[in-house]
Amino acid sequence: MVNYIEDTILSVISQGYPNLEYIIIDGGSKDGTVDIIKKYDKWITYWISEPDKGMYDAIQKGFERSTGEIMAYINSDDKYHYNAFFTAATIFSSMEDVDWVLGRASFYNEEGSIVDVKDMRKWSKLNYYLGDFKWIQQESIFWRRNLWIKAGSRINTRLKLAGDYELWLRFFRFARLHTVETVFGGFRFRSKDQLSLERLDSYLFEIDEVTDLSSLPREDLYAMKKIKFMEKYLLKIPLIRRMRSIRRNYEKAFDYPPKIVYDFMQKKFIKVQSG
C-alpha cells in the first residue's frame, strides 16, 4: 500500500478540520509505509505499526483509541473528497435525529483520478435484510459514537472481508441510514492485490455465515414477508405493477428515511421525503 498511503493521508489532513482525531494503525509494514506516516506525524493524533490479526483487528485497535463523537474509517488506498468532514459535521450538528449518513458512491482509478460517481439510491434495513447489501460504500459513511456504543463498540475481528457488512447489520437494529446527495469518500480500483474484488466468493460466504435474521422484531419479519409476496405475486404482472396504489404500498413497506439534500435558497441541508 506504500504507493497509495500518502494520497490517503493527505486526503484526511488537507480537510483542514479543526477537531480532527486522526488515528493510523499499520500492520507492521516493511515497505516504506512507516516513513511516510512519520512524515506527517504532527497531524496524526496517534499511530502505531505492529503485527495484527487482520484488517478488522487493526480497525478495532483504532476505534478503541478514538474519543470523537463522529466516527468513520478509510483504508490505506482510498481517499476522502474535499470538505467531506465539514459537510458531515454540519449534517450531524443540525439534525439531531440522524445517527448514520451515507454519501454517493464514488470511485478512483489507480492513478487517483475520480472516474465514476453513482446516483444516490434509497436505503432501508429491509433492503439489507433481503440481500440488497452490496452497494453501501464504507468509504462514504459517517456515524455518531452513540450508535457505535449501542451496536456493541466493536467490529467483528474474526472476519476477513465482511466486517463492514456485519457492522451495518447491527447498526440497522438501532438507526436508519440517511443518504445525502454529496460525496464523502471514494474507493480506489487497483489492478492487483485487491481483496474485496479478488475474493468475492469468500466475501459472500462470510456474509452467509454472519447473517442471522431470526431475532428480528416481529414487525420487521412481517414487512419482509409482505415485500416478498408482492415481488413474487404482484409486481411480476405488468398491469398490476403499474398501479400507483400497489407501488406506494410496496415502497411504504420499506420505511425509507427522508433523503438529505442541500437547499440552495436556504443555504443549508434539509430533509425531503423519498419519492
**Residue 191 DSSP class:** S
Give 198's pLDDT tier (boundaries 50, 70, 90): low
Inside any domain, residue 114: yes
Inside any domain, residue 231: no
Domain count, the chain: 1
Q: Which residues contact 223 (CB under 8 A, 6 or more apart)?
A: 126, 253, 254, 255
Q: Which residues contact 268 (CB under 8 A, 6 or more apart)?
A: 90, 94, 262
What tens digit of pLDDT does each residue of 133-161 get?
Answer: 877 999 999 999 999 999 999 999 999 99
Give DSSP secondary structure letters for 146-188: HHHHHTTS---TT-SS-HHHHHHHHHTTT---EEEEEE-EEEE
Grid-cell match 463492514, residue found: 164
The whole domain housing 142 covers 5-210
Give 177's pLDDT tier (boundaries 50, 70, 90): very high
Question: Are residues 29 and 1 in contact, defined by beta-carbon separation less than 8 angstroms?
Answer: yes
Question: Are residues 188 and 6 in contact, defined by beta-carbon separation less than 8 angstroms?
Answer: no
Inside any domain, residue 121: yes
Q: Is the pLDDT of residue 197 over 60?
A: no
Q: Where would I find the H helices in 81-162? A: 84-94, 125-129, 145-150
Give 174's pLDDT tier (boundaries 50, 70, 90): very high
pTM here is 0.92
Inside any domain, residue 126: yes
Q: How far is 111 from 262, CA to CA, in rounded Å?
A: 30
Q: How many CA atoms lie within 13 A of 10 on its CB side?
A: 7
Give 233's pLDDT tier (boundaries 50, 70, 90): confident
Question: Are residues 151 and 170 in contact, defined by beta-carbon separation less than 8 angstroms?
Answer: yes
What would the mean pLDDT of 171-183 be, rounded to a whole number?
96
Give which of 74, 94, 99 is closest to 15, Cα–Cα.
74
Q: How far is 171 from 100, CA to CA, in rounded Å?
A: 8
Helix (H, G, I), strand (E, B) or coil at 102: strand
Give which of 87, 86, 63, 72 is closest to 154, Cα–Cα.
63
Inside any domain, residue 68: yes
First to last CA, the chain: 42
Inside any domain, residue 221: no
Q: Is the pLDDT of residue 223 over 80?
A: yes
What tens digit of pLDDT does each residue of 85-109 get?
Answer: 999 999 999 999 999 999 999 999 9
What is the average pLDDT score of the chain? 92
Residue 153: CB atoms within 10 Å: 11
Q: How far is 158 from 60, CA to CA, in rounded Å?
A: 11
Give 166's pLDDT tier (boundaries 50, 70, 90): very high
What would the mean pLDDT of 100-122 be, rounded to a whole number?
94
Inside any domain, residue 229: no
Give DSSP secondary structure letters for 194-225: -HHHHTHHHHHHHHHHH---TTS-HHHHHHHH
What tens digit of pLDDT does each residue of 38-73 get?
Answer: 999 999 999 999 999 999 999 999 999 999 999 999
Inside any domain, residue 271: no
The pLDDT of residue 38 = 97
* CATH number reported for the structural domain that contains residue 76 in this entry: 3.90.550.10
